[in-house]
């Protein structure tokens, strides 16, 4: 493939961006970059009833956060501007008209009531869901069933009407999906979809074909839920005379619930306690906020890596890939046909890997807001040291607060019960004398601290197993954290001594 590769992500701005949508973006991006082609973002906002304000901006924000920026878009412009379908409205009519003139489409004047009546009257056990199709169209009010003179009159009077495709009866249409291979459809099963609405706005079906053609799209990747629309699109490509340049299609597998039972939905996330959207999404209609991967503490690189593997692998067993590596290795024919089960534990594993290996400087600006929210402030040098010490213990960004709190403040709670269980006089005496010795320690380094600790311990006839964990709990609050003498070095002499003394006071005799 040459530089001609042009792919597009064509979202309808109707709400938050689900994992599946971001994965479609990612596969488009990887494919385009792999082939040195262009990645186009086209906003498909022709369905004004489903339009949600803010949803378009939200898409840009997600693309930005993931680092998957398009080469052409409504914001960036490009050679095929405008990239927002509502702004392309005047352009579609001529194609709908061309289809009518050639006999592939027709005017339909039916009112909402008439359509409802048809669905009601024609409903029977053989046809539980009557649709506007080859079986019913001649009983409806359209340019196929009405007298031509009447049609002209209705048009002259500007009677509201739509344009529908005339789906052929008993025809098989086929295409080769890049993931699924040959796919055939029986056109008799498909209804006469509306192509142009009464207000002159195209429907998705017409607009997607016209724009993929005009924007010279070479490959179109979309979720498998769009497969049932494929026969309509195939016929439109043919009827408009563009069949030779139809993009190659790939219908991407669904992302499934963790148990593999059906498509992963926002509700599953709420129910099982994990995010399904890329970023926080506040529904302007309900004011309800759905948590995103970003806000729950994922690094975008980890999120993108995890998504890439949700339905694709390079066959080598490798799981950690930088974006550049993904670009190099990605191929659409290695995308699985079957749905990919979402596994939140695995998603967190990816994040943990990325946090562990990320430079402390990269983590600092990401972690700082969480620290600040918890009332923690310190100079950058100190924060960087803390980050370096605890990052291997952090899975999500907010974990830094929990894992690092004691470096900045006296712990709110001390697990005294764990010390108390094996507390004895000897230990108390040991800690009292060690705190004294600390006053005259020459250098406040973890090595010096450890040496003085060991010496005092031996002098009291104690072993590490007796006193090391109590010291940790006194300084940290619980049984976690990096090396205890490093902690003491970091928090300083006064704070170390205070914490030990405070614990001793509470432990009593």
Q: Which is nearer to ligand GLU, 180 or 368 (CB)?
A: 180
Element (H, E) at 432: helix 425-439
Q: Of the ranges 9-17, 256-264, 353-361, 427-435, which one interacts with ligand GLU (CB under 6 A)?
A: 9-17
Q: Which is nearer to ligand GLU, 13 or 300 (CB)?
A: 13
Q: Is 311 in the site for ligand GLU (CB under 6 A)?
A: no
Backbone angles phi, psi at 164, to 5 degrees: -115, 150
**Dist CA 280 CA 448 (whole Å):** 48
**Cα angle, residue 489 at apex, residues 484 and 495 outer, rounded to 5°:** 95
Q: Which is nearer to ligand GLU, 151 or 208 (CB)?
A: 208
Q: Of the ranges 4-12, 28-36, 252-260, 281-289, which one interacts with ligand GLU (CB under 6 A)?
A: 4-12
**Dist CA 293 CA 428 (whole Å):** 47
Q: Which is nearer to ligand GLU, 11 or 404 (CB)?
A: 11
Q: Is 154 in the site for ligand GLU (CB under 6 A)?
A: no
Q: Which is nearer to ligand GLU, 41 or 108 (CB)?
A: 41
Q: Cβ(190)–Cβ(131) under 8 Å?
A: no
Q: Give CA torsion, residues 472, 474, 478, 483, to 10 deg.
A: -20
**Shortest Cβ 203–ligand GLU spacing (Å):** 11
**How far is CA 57 from each of CA 17, 26, 434, rounded to the nearest angstrom?**
11, 18, 60
CB neighbour class for 394 (10 Å; exposed up to 12, middle 13-18, buried from 19): buried
Q: Cβ(256)–Cβ(263) under 8 Å?
A: yes
Residue of closest CB approach to ligand GLU: 222
**Dist CA 397 CA 358 (whole Å):** 12
**Shortest Cβ 52–ligand GLU spacing (Å):** 12
Judged by CB under 6 A, the residue of 5, 6, 7, 10 near ligand GLU is 10
Q: Pick from 244, 213, 96, 241: which is nearest to 165 by CA? A: 96
Q: Cβ(288)–Cβ(272) under 8 Å?
A: no
Q: Is 476 in the site for ligand GLU (CB under 6 A)?
A: no
First to last CA, the chain: 79
Q: Pick from 362, 369, 352, 372: which is nearest to 298 by CA? A: 352
Q: Which is nearer to ligand GLU, 50 or 464 (CB)?
A: 50
**Shortest Cβ 166–ligand GLU spacing (Å):** 22
Residues with Cβ within 8 Å of 157's Cβ and at least 6 positions away in sequence, in order, are: none
Q: Is 44 in the site for ligand GLU (CB under 6 A)?
A: yes
Element (H, E) at 99: helix 93-101
Q: Is 470 in the site for ligand GLU (CB under 6 A)?
A: no
Q: Of the ranges 5-13, 131-139, 176-184, 395-403, which one interacts with ligand GLU (CB under 6 A)?
A: 5-13
Q: Which is nearer to ligand GLU, 12 or 301 (CB)?
A: 12
Judged by CB under 6 A, the residue of 5, 6, 11, 482 near ligand GLU is 11
**Shortest Cβ 222–ligand GLU spacing (Å):** 3
**Shortest Cβ 334–ligand GLU spacing (Å):** 21
**Dist CA 193 CA 215 (whole Å):** 23
**Dist CA 233 CA 169 (whole Å):** 16
Asked if the peptide bond before residue 82 counts as cis, ω within 30 degrees of 0, the response is yes
**Shortest Cβ 12–ligand GLU spacing (Å):** 4
For residue 266, indicate whether it is catalytic.
Answer: yes
Site string for ligand GLU, 401-440 (x = CB under 6 A): ----------------------------------------
Q: Hunting for tokens 């807001």 — which residue is that?
A: 369
**Shortest Cβ 395–ligand GLU spacing (Å):** 32
Q: Is 88 in the site for ligand GLU (CB under 6 A)?
A: no
3-state helix, strand, coil in the chain (%, to 5): 50, 10, 40
> What is the token pair recorded at 166?
């005339």
Residues with Cβ within 8 Å of 148's Cβ and at least 6 positions away in sequence, in order, are: none
Site string for ligand GLU, 187-226 (x = CB under 6 A): -----------------x---x-------------x---x
**Shortest Cβ 249–ligand GLU spacing (Å):** 9
Q: Is 56 in the site for ligand GLU (CB under 6 A)?
A: no
Q: Of the ranges 10-18, 238-246, 259-267, 322-330, which one interacts with ligand GLU (CB under 6 A)?
A: 10-18
Residues with Cβ within 8 Å of 1's Cβ and at least 6 positions away in sequence, in order, are: 35, 37
Compute how many residues bind ligand GLU; rule: CB under 6 A.
Answer: 8
Catalytic residue among 76, 89, 266, 501: 266
**Shortest Cβ 10–ligand GLU spacing (Å):** 4
- Interface residues with ligand GLU (CB under 6 A)? 10-12, 44, 204, 208, 222, 226
Residues taking part in catalysis: 266
């Amino acid at each position: 493939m040459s530089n001609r590769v042009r792919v597009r992500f064509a979202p309808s701005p109707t709400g938050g961006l689900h994992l599946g949508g971001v994965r479609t973006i990612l596969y488009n991006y990887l494919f385009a970059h792999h082939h040195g082609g262009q990645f186009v973002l086209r906003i498909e906002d022709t369905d004004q009833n489903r339009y949600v304000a803010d949803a378009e901006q939200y898409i840009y924000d997600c693309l930005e956060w993931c680092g998957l920026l398009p080469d052409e878009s409504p914001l960036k412009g490009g050679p095929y501007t405008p990239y927002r379908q509502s702004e392309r409205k005047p352009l579609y009519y001529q194609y709908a008209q061309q289809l009518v003139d050639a006999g592939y489409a027709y005017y339909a004047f039916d009112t909402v009531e008439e359509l409802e009546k048809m669905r009601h009257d024609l409903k029977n056990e053989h046809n539980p869901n009557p649709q506007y199709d080859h079986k019913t169209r001649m009983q409806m009010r359209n340019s196929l069933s009405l007298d031509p003179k009447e049609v002209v009159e209705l048009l002259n009077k500007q009677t509201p009407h739509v344009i529908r495709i005339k789906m052929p009866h008993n025809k098989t249409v086929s295409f080769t999906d890049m993931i699924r291979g040959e796919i055939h459809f029986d056109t008799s099963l498909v209804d006469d979809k509306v192509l142009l609405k009464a207000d002159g706005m195209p429907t998705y079906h017409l607009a997607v074909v016209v724009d993929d053609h005009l924007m010279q799209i070479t490959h179109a990747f979309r979720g498998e839920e769009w497969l049932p629309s494929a026969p309509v699109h195939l016929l439109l490509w043919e009827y408009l005379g563009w069949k030779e340049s139809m993009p190659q299609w790939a219908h991407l597998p669904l992302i499934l619930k963790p148990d593999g039972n059906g498509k992963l939905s926002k509700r599953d996330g709420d129910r099982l306690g994990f995010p399904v959207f890329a970023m926080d999404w506040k529904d302007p209609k309900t004011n309800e906020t759905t948590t995103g991967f970003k806000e729950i503490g994922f690094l975008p690189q980890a999120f993108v890596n995890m998504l890439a593997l949700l339905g694709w692998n390079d066959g080598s067993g490798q799981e950690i890939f930088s974006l550049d590596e993904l670009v190099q290795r990605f191929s659409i024919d290695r995308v699985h046909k079957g749905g990919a089960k979402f596994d939140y534990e695995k998603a967190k594993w990816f994040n943990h890997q990325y946090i562990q290996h990320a430079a402390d400087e990269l983590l600092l600006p990401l972690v700082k807001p969480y620290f600040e929210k918890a009332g923690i402030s310190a100079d950058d040098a100190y924060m960087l040291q803390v980050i370096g010490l605890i990052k291997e213990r952090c899975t999500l960004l907010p974990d830094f607060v929990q894992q690092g709190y004691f470096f900045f403040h006296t712990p709110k709670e001390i697990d005294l019960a764990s010390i108390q269980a094996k507390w004895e006089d000897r230990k108390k005496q040991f800690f009292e004398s060690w705190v004294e010795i600390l006053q005259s320690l020459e250098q406040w380094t973890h090595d010096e601290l450890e040496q003085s600790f060991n010496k005092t311990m031996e002098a009291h006839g104690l072993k590490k197993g007796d006193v090391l964990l109590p010291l940790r709990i006194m300084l940290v609050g619980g049984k976690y954290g990096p090396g205890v003498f490093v902690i003491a070095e970091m928090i300083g002499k006064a704070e170390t001594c205070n914490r030990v003394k405070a614990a001793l006071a509470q432990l009593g005799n």
